[in-house]
Homo-oligomer: A and B are copies of this chain.
Amino acid sequence: MEEDTTPALWVYERHKDITALGFKVEATLFSGRSEYQNVDIVETVAHGRMLLNDGIVMISERDEFCYHEMIAHVPLFTHPDPRRVLIIGGGDGGTAREVLRHPGVERVVMVEIDKLVVDACREHMPSVSGALDDPRLTLLYEDGVQYVKESDERFDIAVIDSTDPVGPAAPLFDSAFYGNTATLLGEDGIMITQSESPFYDPEIQRSMFGNQRAHFKRLHMYLFSTLTYPGGLWSFGFASKGPCPLSDFDPERATAAGLPTRYYNPEMHRAAFALPTFVTEQLSDLLDRF
């Protein structure tokens, strides 16, 4: 978190030293340091509470629904019968909250390396972390890389809800990690990955999708909007052993589920896979076409 030198308190996140995103802050509610990173939670003037890891905005209460609904409901409404879900990362609890809204989900294993993130969000962001006490959820404070290497559980969906590929999350972008995750998935298995900014991070995206390519039958990317990440437009990777997020998606099933979503809906599900021409061109040799 970078201190502004003007009298009012702002947090500014500078991205690649070319652009910056700032939010006006009322107070710092929590500041701690774990073995892995600095963890801060601030009360902003107009974005609710905001979690920052090493000064990078993770989520705000104002717009976290965009991220968490899209990371969860797109794979859960594509898979024919999702019962067992693995979440790597996602310490704020928002992804687990959305996954657990699906009544068919029987078991969620969430593997978060940094207990401090979970503890801070449990205390200061209950609207996000509230589902972490769901009895269907097992929360492990472990390294996700080791977990997918050693586990013999089988999952329908794996959600890699990671930070950027620096620091503790860097190995979550490797081919070995993606391969091990793929082996935990059943034949209709889907892996979702936080896949950065199509505007600012095409090199990271090319590396990620290149590392995923060999382990999955289908590889797509879908987009959503956020207030709190540089550039506003953000992406998730959709890697699948079988199901197609468009032709195997049944909008009636999504509508009938009646989930209380504020961003996701069947039209947004489909629309998210439409890519601007420059984005398609950046990744055309790595992603499948519809």
Contact of A232 among B20, B232, B274, B278 (CB under 8 A): B232
Question: In the bound complex, do residue B262 and residue A268 qualify as a contact, i.e. CB atoms below 8 Å apart?
Answer: no
A21 proximity list for chain B (CB < 8 A):
19-22
Q: Oligomeric state, in number of copies?
A: 2
Which one, A5-13, A95-103, A105-113, is touching chain B?
Answer: A5-13
Which one, A144-152, A201-209, A223-231, A236-244, is touching chain B?
Answer: A223-231
A268 proximity list for chain B (CB < 8 A):
274-277
A267 proximity list for chain B (CB < 8 A):
274-275
Question: In the bound complex, do residue A10 and residue B5 qualify as a contact, i.e. CB atoms below 8 Å apart?
Answer: no
Query: In this complex, what residue of B is CB-closest to A226?
Result: B232
Question: In the bound complex, do residue A18 and residue B12 qualify as a contact, i.e. CB atoms below 8 Å apart?
Answer: no
Of residues 219 to 268 in A, which have CB atoms within 8 Å of B's CB atoms?
223, 225-227, 231-233, 261-265, 267-268
Nearest chain B CB to A267 CB, angstrom units: 4
A10 proximity list for chain B (CB < 8 A):
20
Given A45-B18, A233-B232 in contact, is the A270-B274 Cβ separation under 8 Å? Answer: yes
Question: In the bound complex, do residue B270 and residue A276 qualify as a contact, i.e. CB atoms below 8 Å apart?
Answer: no
Interface, chain A (partner B; CB < 8 A): 5-6, 10, 12, 14, 16-24, 44-47, 63, 65-66, 199, 223, 225-227, 231-233, 261-265, 267-268, 270-272, 274-278, 280
In the complex, 17 of the A-B residue pairs with CB atoms within 8 angstroms, ordered by the A residue number, are A5-B6, A14-B22, A18-B45, A18-B47, A19-B22, A19-B46, A20-B20, A21-B22, A199-B225, A199-B227, A223-B225, A261-B277, A262-B277, A263-B277, A265-B276, A268-B277, A270-B274
